[in-house]
Amino acid sequence: MLPDADLLYAALAARDPAFEGRAFACVRTTGIFCRLTCPARTAKRGNVSFRASVAECLTEGFRPCRRCFPTGRPD
């Protein structure tokens, strides 16, 4: 069960390390998903939804961010 979306968005905006791995941010306008600690610019709240796992993000058609590597570092 995910925490409240507004709480997750606040964690995303603050890049709060306490939320690392608890959820992933999916950005509709770019089709990318990120860790909540991603250093990229924070998307507008209306464009962000949250998923509990990498598998959920991938299943819904989002691709991993190239800045925070939510699926793990590339080889």
26 is catalytic: no
Q: Which of 25, 26, 48, 68 is catalytic?
A: 68
Q: Is 38 a catalytic residue?
A: yes
The total of other beta-carbon atoms located within 10 Å of residue 37's CB is 17
- Residue of 25, 34, 43, 57 with catalytic role: 34
Choice among 38, 43, 48, 57 that is catalytic: 38
| Neighbour tally for 4: CB within 10 Å | 9
Q: Is 34 a catalytic residue?
A: yes
Q: Helix (H) and strand (E) counts for the chain?
A: 2, 4
Catalytic site residues?
Answer: 34, 38, 65, 68
